[in-house]
Amino acid sequence: MKLMTVWAVAALLVLQLIISSAGGGGPPAPPWCPDRCGEVSVPYPFGIRDGCSLEGFGLTCDNTTDPPRLMVGNGTLQVVEISLANSTLRAVDLAGAVNITYDSSTRGPDGNGTWASLGGGGDGPYVVSEQHNQLVVTGCNVQAMLSTNLITGCSSFCPVSEMFRSVASITNLECSGTNCCETSIAIGRPSYVVQFRYRDPDHEHDGKLSINVRIAERGWFDGVAARMLDKEAEVATARTPVPVVLEWALASTRERVLWSSEPPLTNWSCAAATACLSSDSLCVNVTGNYRSGHVCRCRDGYDGNPYVTGGCQDIDECKIAGKCFGECTNTDGAFLCRCPRGARGNASIPNGCVKTNLGLSVGIGVGSGAGLLVMALCAVFLTRHIKKRRAKMLRHKFFKQNRGHLLQQLASQNAEIAERMVINLYLVLQQVRGARGTH
């Protein structure tokens, strides 16, 4: 039994070495690695056990909850979705709003905080997505900035009722600069330093609304604005989990930007890419304001996991609604869409194929053929007639040029003379015959 176990382990190691040398980037996750945690799928290069992921892509499955939670970073980010096609990871920040520490004794900002839910030193594969996230600030007459070379910031102001000199009632269900503000994040980083300031020097309306700073998925706050601005539920809203989208890349290297006229060096790491194991995958260099690296993509017409051998599978477009409205034929990486027999047009759009009348088409074809034949015969007849007429006209022309009329008159006169001579000769012969008879 022990000998069989040793042989099985040895065979598995040899197989992994073969795959590693063939793919050039190490074997994918062994088959015993779990691919789910609770309700979330965990595709390679991610993994939740040692040896089940690429470096930096290890996740934690918290089995103490029901259902289990998939965690990333320092333990406050719960993963809800991993996208290989977009190289993104959607998570929920369980910490809620950024914890701001206030200090009125300094001459600097009124408060400071840190968004560091990813933990680590900032050299991992993850950064906050610039495209999918926003800085959201709530409160009366306050300003928040993401510092570290000032990335972005916004100010939130509250309208004041002139009659009662109090903050007007909240009626907005989205963020527009009144009671709250939101702005894009210019540089995606793994962490941010938050600086907070009061914009009202008299602090007259401090604390009238919940003061919170969040990094949240774009559009999330508009759906919960009324609840997030409720002063009576300030503590609860501050701890409300916030969705955030992370972007990830392989061989992620932090950009080292120097104050010079030369552009920063970019790590075009696809030249040494070893993780795109599928034969129908390709490597794509990615670079941003903070880091560079590469990701793997399935080629057009394929879908699946490009990080494992045979992971990119052909897409059967003929099974996708709206791809073809005629006769569809799936091919390797593509598809053909034609109108059925007896129809013509554009089969890729609804009602694009129009049926043709076969009998009418045959009749038109036969009639056209007969018409062409008649036209050809008429052309031959006309050509011959024209040639004969032209020859007759030429003979008449030459007849005139060679004094044919004079010759014709002479011939006519000679004929009359000959005719008279014949008649006279006939009369003479009759007279001679009569004379002989009398004798």
Query: Which pLDDT value is given to residue 62?
Result: 94
Six-digit token string for 139: 């409160």
pLDDT band at 81 (very low <50, low <70, confident <90, very high): very high
Residue 355: strand, helix, or coil: strand
Mean pLDDT confidence for 376-391: 83
Most confident of 113-127, 202-216, 401-415: 113-127
Task: Measure the CA dihedral 47/50/53/55, to 10°.
Answer: 130
Closest-CA residue to 196 (of 93, 128, 105, 102): 102
Residue 104: strand, helix, or coil: coil
Residue 291: strand, helix, or coil: strand
Contact between 153 and 146 under an 8 Å Cβ cutoff? The reply is yes
Find all residues with CB under 8 Å of 279, minimum gap 6, and list them.
309, 310, 312
Closest-CA residue to 47 (of 55, 31, 58): 58
- What pLDDT, in 10s, does the model give residues 231-267? 666 666 778 899 999 999 998 777 654 334 444 444 4
Six-digit token string for 161: 């009722």
Neighbour-count burial of 234, counting CB atoms closer than 10 A to its CB (0-12 exposed, 13-18 middle, 19+ buried): middle
- Amino acid type, 118: L
Cα 193–chain centre separation? 36
**pLDDT score of 227 more than 80:** no
Neighbour-count burial of 311, counting CB atoms closer than 10 A to its CB (0-12 exposed, 13-18 middle, 19+ buried): buried
Mean pLDDT confidence for 267-288: 81
Six-digit token string for 322: 């709206």
Question: Which residue is it, tokens 């024209």?
Answer: 386
Cα–Cα distance measured from residue 307 to residue 24, given in angstroms and rounded to the nearest whole number:
12
The DSSP secondary structure of 135-147, one letter per residue, reads: EEEESSSEEEEET
Per DSSP, which regions of 258-417 are E strands? 281-287, 291-298, 302-304, 312-314, 327-331, 334-338, 343-345, 353-355
Question: Which residue is it, tokens 């600097």?
Answer: 108
**pLDDT score of 291 more than 60:** yes
**pLDDT score of 40 more than 70:** yes
Query: Which pLDDT value is given to residue 314?
Result: 96
Cα–Cα distance measured from residue 229 to residue 51, given in angstroms and rounded to the nearest whole number:
46
Cα 64–chain centre separation? 41
Query: Which pLDDT value is given to residue 192?
Result: 92
Closest-CA residue to 148 (of 75, 244, 257): 257
The mean predicted confidence, pLDDT, of the chain is 79
pLDDT band at 300 (very low <50, low <70, confident <90, very high): very high
- Amino acid type, 353: C
Contact between 338 and 325 under an 8 Å Cβ cutoff? The reply is no
Cα 38–chain centre separation? 32
Query: Which pLDDT value is given to residue 168?
Result: 47
Read off φ and ψ for residue 115, nearest 5 degrees: -100, 105
The DSSP secondary structure of 1-33, one letter per residue, reads: -HHHHHHHHHHHHHHHHHHHHHHSS-----TTS
Query: Which pLDDT value is given to residue 205?
Result: 66
Most confident of 116-130, 301-315, 362-376: 301-315
CA atoms within 13 A on the CB side of 91: 29
pLDDT band at 121 (very low <50, low <70, confident <90, very high): low
Per-domain residue ranges of the chain: 95-244, 317-355
Mean pLDDT confidence for 69-75: 88
With pLDDT > 90 as the criterion, what percentage of the chain qualifies? 38
- Amino acid type, 140: C
Mean pLDDT confidence for 311-319: 94
**pLDDT score of 15 more than 60:** no
Contact between 97 and 180 under an 8 Å Cβ cutoff? The reply is no
Mean pLDDT confidence for 212-230: 84
In terms of pLDDT, which residue wins out, 437 or 350?
350
Q: Please list the alpha-helical segments (H only) found in 156-272.
A: 225-228, 234-238
Cα–Cα distance measured from residue 159 to residue 180, given in angstroms and rounded to the nearest whole number:
11
Mean pLDDT confidence for 360-383: 77
β-bridge mates for residue 254, sequence order: 291
